[in-house]
């Protein structure tokens, strides 16, 4: 056979092979959509309904796109609907064939989800999970996604006929995502690497009386920034008083910015564990109002150590700083009398070791500084051990240069009294538990007097005022630095908060200091 014939045969063979290859690829390309559709129909479990408008495939670059997707996910046993998902498209980019056919693994370079809208419905009719978790779906292969991108999504959680959570816009990106037949059954069904999550216009229903909104919530590799948080009562003050059966605070809290570092979520047994780095709460402004004409709430109130100890999750936050806050508290005592108000301005605080793990051997501590009624420096130091079941605590505080008449709106409303004079210095230390407390106090004050008002608060009850000032020491019986000393003994009212407990301790000490001998025990 001549060389020219050999070349022709070779050319014909190569041409035929290429043609057959192209025909095969064309056939596979045409049939790929049918195969994907058949795969979805066979592999989607019975408790998931899936509908879509179309499928586009490209076997050359290993991409699959499913458009106009609608999915309904039911409880496995009751078949009650709990999740509805609608999305514009979902695209798999660069599906690697080698791992798929030879390594029992699905490897995808990128997974894009466009405009998903997720609605989750909370119901009491769902079956209880088995001891062995089944996961949303069953997997036969390990799945690895190098990059996941969710664009312009939205999510809502519904309870009965109301929305309990909503994020109007969700954008999410994560790298190095992996799951497997074993991992999908775990409480955290996927392993993931660096990620970014951006939620906007977030709404949380906190129950019958309060709601929470956040303009923007950003997560970046475990770090969190919260922008423009508002926690508010759903009703105005009067309407809230009309609705509530017992006393409840009207709340308005606005925080322009919160940051929190290094959030890590895991499980310890069946309990969720959340550990973080340091956090900051910047320029919070809180207004709290209580209508004391509403029936008292006589339920037992827990101290903060017990609340932290009994949380349903494990929590560890090393430090949170509050910067440049403002807190106003008002009480309405009598109809027709303006509410009395106490304010704490330029509030700066550090809260350390918020930790309820059993192995925690450190104490939770709070240091707070502010201006009382916008002029008097005040400081509170407070610590407790969350592992102490009797809720022991130690608190100390300082008040300087306090002009007592600035508090008269509150005294008139709540105590039917007026005061004048200056407390130059007040120091107290309190040691207590959930039932009782003792402590020491010392005060330096000038020309302190008070007046007891008539019941209608429109005039002074001269007789009671005379008796009161007769027993109030003018501060002359003091030590060389001008201090008078007193002791503190108080019993906690378990139907009241910790701050009520703190106040009755200071109140007892002030009365003991002003009416007593004013000397230290070792000086008597």
Report the SS3 class of residue 246.
coil
Closest Cα partner for 269 from 352, 366, 357? 357
DSSP secondary structure letters along 443-472: EEEEEEEEEEBPTTSSSB-HHHHHHHHHHS
Closest Cα partner for 336 from 453, 454, 459, 456? 456
Report the alpha-carbon angle 73-77-83, nearest 5: 20
Residue 349 domain-assigned? yes
Residue 290 domain-assigned? yes
- Rounded CA separation 392/439 (Å): 13
pLDDT at 137: 58
Burial zone of 23 (CB within 10 Å; 0-12 exposed, 13-18 middle, 19+ buried): exposed
pLDDT at 458: 46
pLDDT at 405: 78
Please answer whether residues 321 and 350 qualify as being in contact, where contact means their C-beta atoms are separated by less than 8 angstroms: yes
Total Cβ atoms within 10 A of residue 418: 20
Closest Cα partner for 206 from 230, 238, 190? 230
Report the number of distinct structural domains present in the chain: 2
Please answer whether residues 403 and 449 qualify as being in contact, where contact means their C-beta atoms are separated by less than 8 angstroms: no
Residue 497 domain-assigned? yes
pLDDT at 20: 46
Q: Which residues pair with 205 in a beta bridge?
A: 211
Report the alpha-carbon angle 92-98-101, nearest 5: 90
Residue 74 domain-assigned? no
Burial zone of 53 (CB within 10 Å; 0-12 exposed, 13-18 middle, 19+ buried): exposed
Residue 80 domain-assigned? no
Give the residue numbers spanning the domain of 320.
277-524
pLDDT at 136: 55
Q: Which two tokens stand for residue 459?
A: 């005039």
Residue 163 domain-assigned? no
Residue 243 — left, alpha, or beta (φ > 0 → left; ψ -120 to 50 → alpha)? alpha
pLDDT at 27: 42
Contacts 24+ apart (CB under 8 A), 354-359: 354/308, 354/315, 354/316, 354/317, 354/320, 355/315, 355/316, 355/317, 355/386, 356/308, 356/309, 356/311, 356/314, 356/315, 356/316, 356/386, 357/314, 357/316, 358/387
Please answer whether residues 36 and 57 qualify as being in contact, where contact means their C-beta atoms are separated by less than 8 angstroms: yes
Q: Which two tokens stand for residue 255?
A: 């925080």
Phi, psi angles (nearest 5°) of residue 193: -105, -145
pLDDT at 470: 43
Residue 12 — left, alpha, or beta (φ > 0 → left; ψ -120 to 50 → alpha)? alpha
Report the SS3 class of residue 206.
coil
Phi, psi angles (nearest 5°) of residue 399: -130, 135
Please answer whether residues 369 and 348 qualify as being in contact, where contact means their C-beta atoms are separated by less than 8 angstroms: yes
- Rounded CA separation 446/271 (Å): 56
pLDDT at 230: 98
Residue 378 domain-assigned? yes
Q: How far is CA 510 from CA 17, 225, 332, 513, in A?
A: 101, 43, 24, 5
Report the SS3 class of residue 267.
strand
Q: How far is CA 58 from CA 32, 102, 106, in A?
A: 8, 21, 17
Q: Which residues pair with 227 in a beta bridge?
A: 216, 257
Q: Which two tokens stand for residue 254?
A: 């606005």
Closest Cα partner for 107 from 117, 119, 95, 89? 95
Residue 91 — left, alpha, or beta (φ > 0 → left; ψ -120 to 50 → alpha)? beta
Residue 435 domain-assigned? yes
CB-based contacts of 154, cutoff 8 Å, min separation 6 = 116, 117, 118, 166, 167, 168, 169, 170
Report the SS3 class of residue 137.
coil
Q: How far is CA 414 from CA 292, 407, 418, 521, in A?
A: 9, 11, 11, 33
* Alpha helices in 373-444, H assignment, sequence order: 408-414
pLDDT at 28: 45
C-alpha count within 13 angstroms, C-beta hemisphere, residue 356 = 18
- Rounded CA separation 380/366 (Å): 8
Q: Which two tokens stand for residue 323?
A: 């910067």
Tens place of pLDDT for every residue, the chain, 524 residues? 555 655 555 554 554 444 444 444 444 444 445 555 665 666 677 788 888 888 887 777 778 888 999 999 888 777 788 899 999 998 888 877 666 666 778 888 999 999 999 999 987 555 555 545 555 556 667 888 899 999 999 999 998 888 999 999 999 999 998 988 888 788 788 888 899 999 999 999 999 999 999 999 999 988 999 999 999 999 999 999 999 999 999 999 999 999 999 888 888 877 888 999 999 999 999 999 999 899 999 999 999 999 999 998 999 999 999 999 999 999 888 787 788 889 999 999 999 999 987 666 679 999 999 999 999 999 999 999 998 999 999 999 999 998 877 876 666 555 555 667 788 899 999 999 999 999 999 988 877 665 544 444 444 444 444 444 544 555 556 777 888 888 999 999 999 999 889 988 987 887 777 766 656 655 55
């Amino acid at each position: 056979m001549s060389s020219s014939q050999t070349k022709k045969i070779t050319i014909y063979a190569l041409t035929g092979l290429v043609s057959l290859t192209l025909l095969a690829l064309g056939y596979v390309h045409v049939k790929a959509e049918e195969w994907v559709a058949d795969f979805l129909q066979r592999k989607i479990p019975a408790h998931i309904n899936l509908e879509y408008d179309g499928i586009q495939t490209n076997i050359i670059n290993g991409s699959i796109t499913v458009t106009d997707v609608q999915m309904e996910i039911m409880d496995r046993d009751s078949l009650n609907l709990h999740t509805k998902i609608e999305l514009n498209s979902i695209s798999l980019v660069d599906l690697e064939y080698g791992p798929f056919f030879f390594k029992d693994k699905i490897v995808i370079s990128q997974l894009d989800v466009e405009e998903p809208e997720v609605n989750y419905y909370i119901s009491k009719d769902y079956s209880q999970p088995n001891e062995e978790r089944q996961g949303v779906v069953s997997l036969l292969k390990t799945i690895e996604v190098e990059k996941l991108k969710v664009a312009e999504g939205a999510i809502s959680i519904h309870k009965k006929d109301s929305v309990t959570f909503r994020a109007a816009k969700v954008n999410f990106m994560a790298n190095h995502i992996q799951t497997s037949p074993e991992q999908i059954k775990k409480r955290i069904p996927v392993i993931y690497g660096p990620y970014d999550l951006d939620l906007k216009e977030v709404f949380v229903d906190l129950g019958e009386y309060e709601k929470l909104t956040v303009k923007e919530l950003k997560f970046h590799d475990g770090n969190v920034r919260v922008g423009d948080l508002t926690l508010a009562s759903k009703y105005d003050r009067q309407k809230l008083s009309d609705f509530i059966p017992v006393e409840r605070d009207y709340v308005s809290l606005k925080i322009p910015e919160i940051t929190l570092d290094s959030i890590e979520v895991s499980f310890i047994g069946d309990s969720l564990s959340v550990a973080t780095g340091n956090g900051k709460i910047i320029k919070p402004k809180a207004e709290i109002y209580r209508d004391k004409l509403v029936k008292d709430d006589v339920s037992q109130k827990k101290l903060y150590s017990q609340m932290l100890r009994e949380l349903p999750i494990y929590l560890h936050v090393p430090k949170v700083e509050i910067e440049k806050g403002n807190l106003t508290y008002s009480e309405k005592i009598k109809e027709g009398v303006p509410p009395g108000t106490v304010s704490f301005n330029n509030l700066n605080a550090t809260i350390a070791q918020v930790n309820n793990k059993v192995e925690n051997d450190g104490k939770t501590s709070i240091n707070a500084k502010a201006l009382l009624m916008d002029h008097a420096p005040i400081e509170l130091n407070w610590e407790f051990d969350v592992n102490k079941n009797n809720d022991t605590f130690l608190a100390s505080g300082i008040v300087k240069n306090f002009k007592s008449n600035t508090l008269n709106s509150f005294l008139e409303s709540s105590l039917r009294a007026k005061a004048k004079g200056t407390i130059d210095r007040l120091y107290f230390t309190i040691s207590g538990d959930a039932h009782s407390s003792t402590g020491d106090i010392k005060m330096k004050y000038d020309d302190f007097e008070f007046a007891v008002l008539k019941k209608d608060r429109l005039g002074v009850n001269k007789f009671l005022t005379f008796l009161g000032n007769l027993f109030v020491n003018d501060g002359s019986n003091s030590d060389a630095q001008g201090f008078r000393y007193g002791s503190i003994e108080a019993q906690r009212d378990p139907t009241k908060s910790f701050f009520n407990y703190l106040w009755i301790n200071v109140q007892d000490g002030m009365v003991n200091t002003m009416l007593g001998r004013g000397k230290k025990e070792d000086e008597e």
